[in-house]
């Protein structure tokens, strides 16, 4: 059976979202049919607003609805430390911790030759420009523990270290509450390398 065109288009639209397959997209589309018209309108307006009103911060590359994001404008933050992340959502994750008080820099991706993404495709040039400020003493590389994340971290480290700026990497290893027997070899190696004294 073929769905009417409006619902078929909605299913196709939902399937464009990451992690949404045909079954989930169909379920969401039919749920949308039961929603009040005002809620659907608000949902559509929110989608349009995200595309029209958000852009990347002129300084760090985080998402913002102004020229400069709230974090870059906050004069109480430690300007001697910049934590480099892959995506804006990583900034939000770090901020939930409420412990880090430095600045951020968002690359908006990682080096991935398989995907055709090289250093020139990332927000690296503006990071190097920020590091020319003598105020920055340390750069913390917070890429994901993937092959691409590791390659990006190594590339940035080689780029930054000659400037005499301390370059550190987030620790990797066993998650709290996990069992050693279920950890893979790379995770165990990182846990041993990143061990701390008690």
- pLDDT given for residue 121 in this prediction: 94
CA separation for the pair 120, 125 (Å, rounded): 8
Tokens representing 69? 């994001």
* pLDDT tens per residue across span 87-108: 999 999 999 988 899 999 999 9
Q: Are 143 and 110 in contact (CB under 8 A)?
A: yes
Bridge-based pairing state of the strands 138-141 and 78-85: parallel
Task: Please give the DSSP secondary-structure letter assigned to residue 114.
Answer: G
Domains of the chain plus CATH, in order, are 5-53 (1.10.8.420), 74-169 (3.40.1360.10)
The count of other CB atoms within 10 Å of the CB of residue 85 is: 25
Which among 133, 146, 148 has a CA at the least distance from the CA of 103? Answer: 133
On the 0-12 / 13-18 / 19+ scale of CB atoms within 10 A, 143 is buried
CA separation for the pair 180, 42 (Å, rounded): 47
* pLDDT tens per residue across span 68-92: 999 999 999 999 999 999 999 999 9
CA separation for the pair 186, 83 (Å, rounded): 24
E strands, the chain, in order: 55-56, 63-64, 78-85, 102-106, 138-141, 166-169
Count each helix (H run) and each strand (E run) in the chain, helices first: 8, 6
Spell out, as residue ranges, where the chain has pLDDT lower than 50.
none
């Amino acid at each position: 059976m073929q769905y009417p065109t409006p619902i078929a288009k909605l299913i196709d639209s939902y399937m464009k979202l990451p992690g949404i397959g045909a079954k989930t997209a169909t379920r969401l589309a039919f749920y949308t049919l039961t929603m009040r018209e005002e809620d659907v309108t608000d949902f559509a307006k929110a989608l349009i607003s995200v595309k029209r009103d958000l852009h990347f911060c002129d300084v760090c590359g985080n998402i913002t609805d102004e020229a400069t994001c709230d974090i870059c404008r906050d004069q109480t933050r430690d300007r001697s430390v910049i934590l480099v992340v892959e995506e804006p959502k990583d900034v939000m994750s770090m901020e939930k911790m409420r412990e880090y008080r430095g600045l951020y820099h968002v690359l908006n991706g990682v080096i991935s030759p398989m995907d055709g993404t090289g250093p020139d495709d990332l927000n690296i040039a503006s990071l190097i420009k920020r590091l020319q400020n003598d105020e920055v003493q340390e750069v913390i590389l917070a890429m994901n523990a993937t092959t691409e994340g590791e390659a990006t971290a190594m590339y940035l480290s080689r780029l930054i270290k000659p400037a005499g700026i301390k370059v550190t990497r987030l620790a990797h290893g066993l998650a709290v509450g996990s069992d050693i027997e279920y950890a893979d070899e790379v995770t165990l190696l990182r846990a041993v390398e990143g061990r701390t004294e008690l």
